[in-house]
Amino acid sequence: ITHILQRESTGKYSPELVAGPGAVEDPNEVTVQGCDCQESACVPPTCTCLPFGDNYIRRAVADVQRPVLECNIMCKCSDSCANRETQTGLQFHLRVCGTPGKGWGVTAMEDIPRGRFVCEYAGEVLHREEACSRTRSLDRLAVNNYIIAVREHLHNGKVLQTIVDPTRIGNVGRFLNHSCQPNLFMLPVRTHSMVVPRLALFAARDISAGEELCYDYSGRSFNSAPDSASGPGKPTSRKRCLCGTPPCSGYLPFDDWLCQPETRQEHGSSCMDLHDPSASPCVS
C-alpha cells in the first residue's frame, strides 16, 4: 500500500487517524476513562466500556444501531480483550489492484464472515473550513476527492461531525470504491477519544474470496438518516457510478454539505454520552 501511495504521489501511509490542519481535537488523545476488569473478562454490566451490552459476538459487531465504545490503553484488561476488535489491525488478507474504469480497488483474498471488522478509514481529521477549502481545490483540479464527512445524528437533535481526508495520509480504506449495493458498512467506534471516533468498516454480509470490497459513500446503508447525499443532484456535475448493481442510481453520491453554512446543531468537537441509552446515533 505504501508503494502505491508513493506512485500516486499522495504522501504517507498511516493505519490510524491523525490530526490535520485546523483539527480541534487530537484523535489519539486519551479522553476515555478505562475499565477495571483486570482479573475478569470484560462483560456487561460490570465493565464500564460495555454500558449497552456486548459490542461483539464471536468477533462480529452485535448491533449497528447503538454507540460502540471499545476498551482502550487506560483499561486494565489485556490486549486480547474481545472488546478491542478494531484495534488489532487488518485481520483479513486484502489486495489493492486496478479495476475496470474505476481505478484502484480493494479485493478480499479470503472469505470474510458477516459483521467482522475489515479495515479502518484512516487519514487526516480536518476542521470543516479546511475540508471545504480542499474540496473546492480538488474540484477545480478535477481530481479524485477522498474526503468523507460522517455525521452522527443524536436524539436531542445535535449532530456530531467527523471529517477525514486520506489523500495525503491514509491507509487501504481510501482505495475502496462505492457501490449502491455494498458489502461493507461504516460504523463510528470510540476507543481512546470520546470526541473523535474511528471510522470502522464491517462486512455487511458474508463476503467470498475474490469479491471487490465496496461501501456506500453516502452512508445510506444500515443506520443512516435521510440526507442530501441520496438526492438526485445535477447529473452534469456528478461522476457516473460504475458499480453495476441492480439498484445502481447511475451517479456517485453527491453531498455539498461541507461548504454549506454550519447550523447550531452541528458540532465538530462535542462528546457523545455513551452511557445514555437514548444517545444512539444514526449516521449519514
Structural domains of the chain sorted by starting position, each given as residue range(s) with its CATH number in brackets = 2-283 (2.170.270.10)
The mean pLDDT of the chain is 84
d(CA 40, CA 27): 29
Query: Which grid coordinates are listed for 90?
Result: 487488518
Query: Which grid coordinates are listed for 241?
Result: 457510478
Q: In this predicted structure, what is the pLDDT of residue 4?
A: 60
Nearest to 121 by CA among 180, 201, 64, 18: 201
Expressed in angstroms, the distance from the first to the final Cα of the chain is 28
Q: Report pLDDT digits (tens) over 194-237.
A: 889 999 999 999 999 999 999 999 876 554 443 433 333 344 46
Query: With 80 as the cut, is the pLDDT of residue 254 above it?
Result: no
Q: In this predicted structure, what is the pLDDT of residue 220?
A: 66
Nearest to 151 by CA among 164, 138, 132: 164
Query: Which grid coordinates are listed for 45?
Result: 454490566
Mean predicted confidence (pLDDT) in 157-164 = 88
**Between β-strands 68-69 and 184-190, what pairing exists: parallel, antiparallel or unpaired?**
parallel
Residues ≥6 apart with Cβ < 8 Å to 276: none
Q: Report pLDDT digits (tens) over 166-180.
A: 999 999 999 999 999
Q: Pick the more confident residue, 268 or 102.
A: 102
